[in-house]
């Protein structure tokens, strides 16, 4: 079996979130990514969330839609 390709993600977190993530990862000798994966996979297993369900595919917007929603629109100029 070949390993699944990884994808890059970037998001902002609070300093508290990062401190706790680092502390948890260090306690278990894990990388930050591995700690997040472990926590997420445990949560999903405990709550019956399966990534093979069709619902997940329908709920996830296409990348183009997500980018369009995230785009910042320039402010309209006010008329004097």
Q: What is the pLDDT of residues 12-37, one digit of tens each?
A: 999 999 999 999 999 999 999 999 99
Q: Is the pLDDT assigned to residue 61 strictly greater than 90?
A: no
Q: Is residue 78 part of a domain?
A: no
Q: Is residue 3 part of a domain?
A: no
Q: In terms of residue numbers, what domain contains 64?
A: 15-70
Q: Is residue 60 part of a domain?
A: yes
Separation CA 23–CA 56 (nearest Å)? 31
pLDDT grade for 78, boundaries at 50, 70 and 90: low
Average pLDDT, the chain: 81
Separation CA 2–CA 54 (nearest Å)? 23
Number of domains in the chain: 1
Per-residue confidence (pLDDT) for residue 3, from 0 to 100: 77
**pTM (2 d.p.):** 0.59
Between the CA of residue 12 and those of 3, 9, 16, 17, what are the distances in Å? 27, 10, 12, 10
Q: Is the pLDDT assigned to residue 57 strictly greater than 70?
A: no
Helix/strand number for the chain, H first, E second: 4, 0
């Amino acid at each position: 079996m070949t390993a699944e390709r990884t994808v890059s993600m970037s998001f902002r977190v609070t300093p508290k979130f990062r401190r706790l993530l680092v502390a948890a990862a260090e306690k278990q000798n894990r990388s930050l990514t591995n700690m997040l994966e472990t926590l997420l996979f445990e949560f999903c297993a405990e709550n019956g969330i399966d990534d093979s369900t069709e619902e997940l595919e329908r709920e996830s917007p296409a990348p183009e839609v997500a980018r369009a929603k995230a785009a910042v629109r320039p402010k309209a100029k006010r008329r004097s």
